[in-house]
Amino acid sequence: MIALIATLGMLCPALTATETPEIQLTPLLQPGDNLRPEGMSPANSKAFCDGEWHGDAAWTIGWADGPLYYAVYQDPDETGCVNTYPFDVEWAFWWAQNNTVDDLYIIVQTVVYAADLSVPSCPKPGVVMCRGVSIQYTLPGSWTGVLEIPVGGCCVTGPYFIGLELWEWDGTLGSVITDDGITPPARLCASYANYDGTWLDLIDDIGFPGNLKLWSVGQTETGCDTCFFPVEYGADLWFSENDGVPINPNVFVLNPIPADFFGPGSDPFDNLIALEGSPIPTWPADALGGADAVIERRQSADLPTDGSSVIIDNEIVALSLVSTTPITVSYMGGMEFIDWDVQVCLSSAPQPTGTMLLRRECCLGGTFDAFLKILPKFVFTRIPDGFTMSLDFNDFGMPIQWFGTTDGTWSTAIHPPYDLDFSPGLVAVDNDCNSGTYEVAIQSSSKFLRCENISGGFSTCRFPDPCPTTCCIPPSVGDLDQSGGALGFNYDGADLSLMINGLFIDPANGWNGICLDEADVDFTSPRPVVDPMTVDGADLSLLINALFIHPAPSSYLRKCDGTPNAER
């Protein structure tokens, strides 16, 4: 049971999307004592439940050095928990092995991901919900056992993924999995790793013989606040609108390019330059879609209640703009004219730090003001022969530029077409216009905001309101086709058919175009409902009851806000 396929690396030029990392299976040692941070231990409670759905470990997998990203699907309901949600995720457990005779030092951080149910039958790790602190563990030589890793509390309302980020170690680390021939069978769409910027199924994509021994535990019925969350630090993709209205920076109006810059006899240049966004060059190619700027939020932000706000640091890490039309440079006082194309990126010098004001307006998001300090680089290409000239603001002693947006919109639940274009992992970008070289590695997308405009002035950066009113149409829920009608007659057999189709016949596509607020008739999810997995057999039973067992006027479904109808 040995497969040697390729060399492991999170970002390795030799590793392509079709290759997989080295897999080496060794017999499992007997489990040793658990390792936990000093002075910390999981609580002991009858309400403590876990998501450990896999069987006994049978093999280990040896890894090469490098950062690793793991994530495993969790649904405490599967382990017999009752009245599970909201569920407070408190601890993660990882069965690991030190394959060396020496002590092994590793740094581990827990991450809770929302379950991405774009394909309901095959969940994948989605947006980051919570992130624990980084903790160093010392694994004794030839040790196999369970690492107990604190999550710190993360309130979830449904299935989720428990994740690990392993940042460094100084030896060979083993990860314990289950044997595919014993108990249980290998489960697809459950264990994932990230090697090249994409979440890969350990079983289906890489060929592991079993699922990862990684699980979590927490408290049920805690009344934890599902809206209490930190806005995680991370990189955000910004997009210029390119709607025919060019960006016109006036930097050279205030600070003219000096005479002779464009060659002997060139006059000072002090005109506006019309610019538009151009996709940032990346490795792998096109990894950021059409994004023309990447803004990194340098700190997490705690926004515990609606109306709370916080100021954090930000920094631009990539920029790609081009001129909409060539600029015309005059020579010798207007005796000659030459056209130049313009490209704008970032200075090769470090970028200054800006600020961002975040305001939480509802559970899903709010608004922000972003103020960016930018040291740009302008690259001018002469039209006749392709000769280039670069003007790096740092090298020429030119002033820092201010860019920004006010009253922009942010959200933790972004859906097409406003979702971002790359997964957690490493994406290398060319940020200083040195073609073919990639100076900056972006570790992850936070899926936190997508801006539609970046300009030389202050502009609006918005996508649809993250705090919308419910899509439910009064007088009650249950009207899936939203045909309307009087109370008790606004839901009918057509709505029942739509619910059955989404639950059983076509779960992958059956919910498309359906207002899920109408379908979640038992109100197990906050509004607006974004996860079709929220709709289940309990909702179907309530709709059947309202239609056939206790129809109007003996009972009615609830109002759109969840309160009982007066006639009930």
Instruction: Give me the pLDDT at residue 37, please.
Output: 58
Residue with tokens 């009253």: 407
Instruction: Give me the pLDDT at residue 291, please.
Output: 80
Sign of the CA dihedral running 74, 76, 78, 83: negative
Q: What is the distance of C-alpha 541 from the center of its chain?
A: 35
Instruction: Give me the pLDDT at residue 241, please.
Output: 64
Nearest CA-CA partner of 111 in 270, 232, 242, 207: 232
Q: Residue 521 and residue 545: Cα distance in Å, rounded? A: 12
CA atoms within 13 Å, Cβ hemisphere of 55: 13
Taken as a whole, the chain contains a residue count of 568
Question: How do strand 275-277 and strand 321-323 relate by DSSP bridges?
Answer: antiparallel
Q: Residue 79 and residue 76: Cα distance in Å, rounded? A: 5
Q: DSSP for 120-172? A: TTS-EEEEEEEE---EEEEEPTT-EEEEEEEEEEEEESS-EEEEEEEEEESS-
State pTM to two decimals: 0.57
Listed in order, strand segments (DSSP E) in 270-332 are 275-277, 282-283, 293-297, 301-302, 309-319, 321-323, 327-331
**What 3-state DSSP class applies to 11?**
coil
Backbone angles phi, psi at 146, to 5 degrees: -110, 130
Q: DSSP for 432-451? A: SS-TT---EEE--EEEEEEE
Q: Residue 537 and residue 522: Cα distance in Å, rounded? A: 10
Q: Residue 176 and residue 42: Cα distance in Å, rounded? A: 21
Q: What is the distance of C-alpha 528 from the center of its chain?
A: 20
Question: How do strand 354-362 and strand 365-374 relate by DSSP bridges?
Answer: antiparallel
Q: What is the distance of C-alpha 170 from the center of its chain?
A: 29
Q: Residue 155 and residue 552: Cα distance in Å, rounded? A: 37
Tokens of 16: 């392509």
Per-residue pLDDT tens, the chain, 568 aa: give them. 112 111 111 122 222 223 333 444 444 444 445 565 554 444 433 345 665 555 555 666 665 455 678 999 998 887 777 778 888 898 898 888 887 788 888 888 899 988 888 787 899 998 777 888 778 888 888 888 888 899 888 888 888 999 998 876 666 667 777 654 454 557 889 999 887 668 999 888 888 877 888 888 888 866 677 665 667 777 777 777 665 556 667 788 888 999 999 999 999 999 989 888 898 888 777 777 778 888 888 888 888 788 899 999 999 999 999 999 999 999 999 999 999 999 999 999 999 999 999 888 877 678 888 888 999 999 999 998 999 999 999 999 999 988 777 777 776 655 444 444 344 446 788 888 887 677 676 654 444 444 444 333 334 455 556 666 678 888 899 999 988 888 899 999 999 999 999 999 999 889 988 999 999 998 888 778 888 988 999 899 999 989 999 888 878 898 887 878 864 3
Backbone angles phi, psi at 250, to 5 degrees: -100, 25
CA-CA-CA-CA dihedral for 202, 203, 205, 207, to nearest 10: 100
Backbone angles phi, psi at 527, to 5 degrees: -90, 145
Asked whether 61 and 28 are in contact (CB, 8 A), the reply is no
Instruction: Give me the pLDDT at residue 18, please.
Output: 30
Q: Which amino acid is at 187?
A: R
Q: DSSP for 345-390? A: EE-SSPPPPEEEEEEEEETTEEEEEEEEEE-EEEEEEETTT--EEE
Taking CA 512 as the corner, what is the angle to CA 509 and CA 517, rounded to the nearest 5 degrees?
Answer: 125
Q: Residue 218 and residue 398: Cα distance in Å, rounded? A: 55
Nearest CA-CA partner of 232 in 113, 354, 90: 113
List all residues 6 or more positions away from 302 whose beta carbon is below 8 Å from its beta carbon.
230, 231, 310
Q: In Å, how far are 240, 361, 494 from 555, measured between CA atoms? A: 52, 35, 19
Nearest CA-CA partner of 228 in 363, 126, 358: 363
Asked whether 442 and 429 are in contact (CB, 8 A), the reply is yes
